[in-house]
Structure 1
Amino acid sequence: MTDTMHKIAAGLERAFATHGFAEPSVEDLRDAAGVSLRTLYKYAPSRADMVLAALEHRHGRYLSHLFDELPDAPEAALDALLDRVGTWMATETSHGCLFHGAVAAEPGNERLRGVLSRHNAEVARRAADATGLAGRETELLVIMEGLTQAWALHRDAAVECAKRLGMSLRKQDA
């Protein structure tokens, strides 16, 4: 990704995360990206491309937040991973999951559904690898997605509940 595209994608991600997918005008998105309208359209020729660029940027940031420098021990990695989901929720997603928001805004869009599916699959695979729970990708994804949904109401209690559920997977595999 070029520096310009990175700058544009970061600005688009912020704009959509803050205002949703329906509200920002193209001018708002241009301003958020910090480029001219011509440059914005050069790198993202349509609003759909702008949404996809924002989601791709978010995907990379989320993976980095969750998985960079996790502890090597599987039990510690599981705890750290779920703590990091809670931290992400506290600092990045005041309006809920950006991927689910994009699909909800345009439920018939197969490209968006594909991005969500790929995002979830990669998160689940990497979580299973990091925690020593290979073969439990679906269960880990349900725990992590449940945490993202429950966090708004239960915050730290939701993180602790997710950790207990994660540890129950470890016990079942023992």
Structure 2
Amino acid sequence: MDTKTKLISAAEQLFDRHGFTATGMDKLTKAAGMSSRTLYKHAGSKTALITEVLQERHRRFQPLIEVDSVDALFNALEEWIRTESARGCLFLRAYGETGGDTPAITDAVLAYKARLYDKIKDIVAIETAEKETPELAEQILILYEGATAAAIYRGPEAIASAHKAALALLKQARS
């Protein structure tokens, strides 16, 4: 594993576990097993590192949601939570901790969330055989995001409940 990959991996684990604000550069250097000079050489700044961590998270998560059904979408989320963690959406946590005041982080978060919403709109269009279903897509997005948050304290059962609700909404839209 190269130095930058090692750094991003260590940073993702620490940010996910302890948050962005609570994770200082000293913790990052220790976890990555490198000097602060090496860390700054490869990361540039904490903001740049956070942005890279979000890009890496997106790179790993995106293939899971390249599906064509609401059922598969929620199954993918449940699998992610079981294998990765149930600490909530790392993107929303980054946005919340920075207050939306750090343009690079805000841009990464909003771009990711826009892609997620677009994916859900595409899935809903396939499932309902309609081109425009923004209200249903919005409802399923909210169930998806809510399940991600509720899984923190409810576990995968939260995803199963949201999954059922999404399928019920979809069934209603088809009839």
Contact 1:100 1:116 in 2 (8 A): yes
> Are 2:130 and 1:129 equivalent residues in the alignment?
no
8 Å CA contact 2:143–2:162 kept in 1: the answer is yes
Matches within 5 A, 1:7-156: 7-67=6-66, 70=67, 74=68, 77-107=69-99, 108-130=101-123, 132=126, 135=132, 136=134, 137-156=137-156
The whole-number CA distance in structure 2 between the counterparts of 1:153 and 1:23 is 21
Identity of aligned residues (%): 27
5+ residue gaps, structure 1, are none
1:91 Cα deviation (Å)?
A: 3.4
| 2:87–2:152 CA contact under 8 A, matched in 1 | no
Tell me the secondary structure at the aligned position of residue 24 of structure 1. Answer: coil
* Stretch moving more, 32-41 or 107-116: 32-41
Cα offsets for 1:145-173 (capped at 9, x unmatched) = 01112223433432232223322135414
Whole-Å Cα distance in 2 between the matches of residues 156 and 22 of structure 1?
A: 27
Shift of 1:27: 2.3
Name the SS for the 2:22 alignment partner.
coil
TM-score, length of structure 1 as denominator length = 0.78
| Alpha-carbon distance, 1:48 to partner | 1.0
1:160 is paired with a residue whose SS is helix
Q: Can you list the C-alpha shifts for 1:102-121, whole angstroms capped at 9, x where unaligned?
A: 12211022332222211111
Q: Which amino acid aligns with 2:21?
A: A
Residue 30 of structure 1 and its aligned partner are, at CA, apart by: 2.0
> Normalising by structure 2, what TM-score?
0.78
Contact 1:86 1:155 (C-alpha < 8 Å) held by counterparts: no
CA shift at 1:13, angstroms?
Answer: 0.7
Q: Secondary structure of the equivalent of 2:143?
A: helix
Deviation at 1:93, TM superposition (A): 3.3
How much is the aligned-residue C-alpha RMSD, in angstroms? 2.6
Please list every run of 5 or more consecutive structure 2 residues that lacks an aligned counterpart in the other structure. Answer: none
